């Protein structure tokens, strides 16, 4: 009973404090005779952090707009006795610096909701300070307060706390070109050359993955974008693409020398492939790193293979065993990872040439067909489309559909193990797998699958092939994993569960059951 009665008191106390703080803030902004109100508000920070954050944001946003903390020069103050106006301005700036320290501590040390509010307050104050600088500037055009952005980034890149949620919130301001530009400019000075802690590496990779990068040729659009975070309307801001690329390369030069755990290694490869690789000055220098990663099993090897594919196709890297490595990736375990879509996409790209040896492509076709016996149903549909594409590109492989070997020989329990099939599933070299001597009996077996969608899809081997190849990328987007991830990222409005607010334990008005309840009461 004590806990139940205490909760409303605390809630009421919080609301009363919020009203009181707002009243004191209005008094402070209305007259300087209430200057001590600011001291009282800051003094209650530790006890009432959330209402203090909102109140401080209101106060200093207005103070910055008025220019009350603007200071012409500090030389005259040193020669003569400072005026009351100068002393008030210096006092305000001292309080402002103290507030910034508390805001940064709040981002780091409090509950998630408070952390996000502290980050929001810091960004709003930084934006206002950019529009109304505290000191005179030589350049009367655009100004960005880097001395405010850098501590925010230092707090986000904590070596002790995972700040993934805060970094996602910070991502919202990178839609402004000036905020994005100066974030990249700050990162090299925040990236240590020596080995940092694992949490810091995770936060840095998360930040790099979240903040966007304009493609080559889009820098004009960034410069023409007049919607700036820290600047008045129409301020002159120039996006320097070469400076951003230099900053990115400096950061990545440090990251590549760090020792990584398996999880961080995987995260680094994802960031490298999705964000960084097109902007590196010398991508070929990644060869040793990718080759070492290629020797690892599972998702790391698959992601490294994607990187090697980019080097082979766009930077003329020679890697003769790349098809053997791709062939070895198709194991049943890979279909239980979230990177399996990348494997299908890579396989379709690797095997897109019609000049590949039929023996090599036949090994892939046969291995994919065998895997349909153990893969999830959604993956079977993608595999069937990939096999159809390979058979269309290499018409000579259609003889595998009704090859005399295996016709009528694989029955009973042998249909699950492939016993009697000349194809060697355990052979690592695709050219030695005897795929050309086998048949696609696995796909014929799928024509009696319990799911009609799979049974219908497997009948393609007995029908005329489509004139256009299947789009593997679109097929992957329709799998349940991608659909689930897309639904999680989509914004869903709150659904109303009741139309009438319940006032007691009785059923709502108009409920049919209420009639019978009255009869039996």
- Main-chain dihedrals φ then ψ at residue 162, nearest 5 degrees: -75, 115
More confident residue, 481 or 303: 303
Question: Which residue would you say has higher pLDDT here, 119 or 232?
Answer: 119
Can you give the pTM of this predicted structure? Answer: 0.79
Query: Which range (95-109, 136-150, 286-300, 446-460) has the least confidence?
Result: 136-150
Q: In the predicted model, is pLDDT for residue 9 greater than 80?
A: no
Length of the chain: 521
Q: Among the listed ranges 44-48, 63-67, 229-233, which one has the minimum average pLDDT value?
A: 229-233
CA distance 189 to 247: 9
Cα–Cα distance measured from residue 216 to residue 237, given in angstroms and rounded to the nearest whole number: 18
Residue 48 has a pLDDT of 86
- The rounded distance, in Å, linking the Cα atoms of 337 and 379 is 12
Considering only residues 12 and 319, tell me which one the structure prediction assigns the higher pLDDT. Answer: 319
Tell me the torsion sign for CA atoms 508, 510, 513, 517: positive
User: Is the confidence at residue 31, as pLDDT, over 80?
Assistant: yes
Strands (DSSP E) found in 266-365:
none
| Predicted local confidence at residue 8, as pLDDT | 33
- CB of 446 closer than 8 Å to CB of 377: no
Q: Please, is 47 exposed, middle or buried when counting C-beta atoms within 10 Å of its C-beta (0-12, 13-18, 19+)?
A: exposed
Query: Is the predicted pLDDT of residue 488 greater than 70, yes or no?
Result: no
Query: Does residue 498 surpass a pLDDT of 70?
Result: no
Considering the chain, what is the average pLDDT of its residues? Answer: 82
Does the structure show a pLDDT above 70 at 120? yes
Confidence class of residue 493 from pLDDT cuts 50, 70 and 90?
A: low
Task: Compute CA distances 268 → 97, 304, 427, whole Å.
Answer: 37, 10, 32
Whether 519 has a pLDDT exceeding 90, the answer reads no
* Minimum mean pLDDT range among 60-64, 149-153, 247-251, 508-512: 508-512
Give the mean model confidence (pLDDT) for residues 99-103: 94
So what's the pLDDT on residue 485?
Answer: 56
pLDDT at position 504, please? 59
For the ranges 7-11, 189-193, 282-286, 320-324, the lowest mean pLDDT is seen at 7-11
Question: pLDDT for 56-97, tens place per residue?
Answer: 999 999 999 888 888 775 544 455 677 888 889 889 999 999
State the pLDDT at residue 410: 46
What percent of the chain is predicted at pLDDT more than 70? Answer: 80
Residues 283-329 pLDDT 10s: 988 988 998 898 888 889 889 999 998 898 888 888 878 899 899 98
Q: Tell me the three state secondary structure of residue 134.
A: coil
Could you tell me which residue, 230 or 516, shows the higher pLDDT? 230
- Residue of 239 and 78 predicted with greater confidence: 239
Whether 332 shows a pLDDT value over 80: the answer reads yes
Whole-number pLDDT of residue 340: 85
């Amino acid at each position: 009973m004590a806990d139940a009665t205490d909760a409303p008191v605390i809630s009421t106390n919080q609301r009363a404090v919020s009203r009181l703080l707002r009243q004191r803030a209005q008094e402070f902004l209305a007259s300087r005779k209430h200057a001590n109100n600011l001291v009282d508000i800051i003094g209650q920070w530790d006890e009432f952090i959330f209402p203090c954050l909102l109140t401080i944001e209101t106060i200093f946003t207005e103070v910055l707009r008025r220019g009350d903390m603007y200071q012409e020069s500090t030389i005259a103050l040193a020669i003569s006795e400072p005026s009351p106006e100068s002393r008030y301005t210096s006092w305000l700036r001292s309080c402002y610096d103290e507030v910034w320290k508390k805001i940064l501590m709040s981002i780091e040390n409090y509950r998630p909701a408070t952390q996000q509010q502290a980050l929001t307050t810091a960004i709003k104050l930084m934006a206002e300070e950019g529009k109304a600088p505290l000191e005179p500037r030589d350049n009367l055009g655009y100004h960005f307060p880097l001395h405010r952005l850098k501590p925010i980034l230092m707090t986000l890149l904590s070596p002790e706390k995972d700040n993934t949620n805060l970094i996602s919130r910070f991502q919202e301001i990178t839609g402004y070109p000036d905020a994005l530009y100066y974030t990249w400019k700050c990162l090299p000075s925040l990236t240590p050359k020596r080995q940092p802690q694992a949490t810091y590496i995770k936060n840095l990779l998360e930040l790099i993955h979240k903040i966007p990068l304009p493609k080559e040729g889009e820098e004009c659009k960034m410069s023409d974008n007049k919607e700036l975070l820290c600047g008045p309307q129409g301020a002159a801001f120039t996006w320097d693409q070469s400076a951003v690329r230099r900053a990115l390369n400096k950061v990545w030069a440090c990251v590549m020398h760090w020792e990584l755990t398996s999880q961080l290694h995987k995260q680094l490869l994802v960031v490298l492939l999705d964000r960084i690789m097109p902007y590196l000055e010398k991508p070929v220098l990644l060869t040793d790193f990718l080759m070492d990663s290629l020797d690892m099993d599972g998702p790391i090897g698959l992601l490294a293979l994607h990187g090697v594919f980019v080097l082979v196709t766009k930077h003329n890297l020679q890697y003769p065993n790349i098809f053997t490595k791709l062939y070895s990736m198709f194991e049943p375990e890979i279909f239980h990872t979230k990177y399996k879509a990348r494997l299908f996409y890579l396989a379709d790209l690797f095997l897109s040439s019609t000049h590949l040896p039929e023996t090599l492509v036949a090994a892939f076709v046969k291995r994919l067909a065998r895997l349909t016996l153990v893969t999830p149903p959604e993956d079977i549909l993608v595999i069937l489309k990939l096999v159809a594409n390979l058979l269309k590109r290499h018409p000579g492989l259609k003889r595998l559909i009704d090859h005399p070997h295996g016709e009528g020989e694989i029955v009973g329990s042998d249909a699950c193990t492939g016993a009697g099939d000349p194809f060697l599933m355990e052979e690592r070299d695709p050219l030695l797998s005897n795929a050309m001597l086998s048949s696609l009996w696995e796909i014929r077996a799928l024509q009696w699958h319990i799911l009609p969608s799979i049974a219908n899809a497997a009948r393609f081997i007995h029908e005329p092939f489509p004139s256009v190849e299947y789009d593997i990328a679109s097929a992957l987007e329709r799998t349940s994993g991608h659909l689930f991830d897309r639904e999680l990222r989509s914004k869903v409005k709150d659904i109303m569960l009741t139309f009438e607010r319940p006032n007691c334990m009785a059923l709502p008005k108009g409920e049919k059951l209420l009639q019978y309840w009255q009869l039996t009461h």
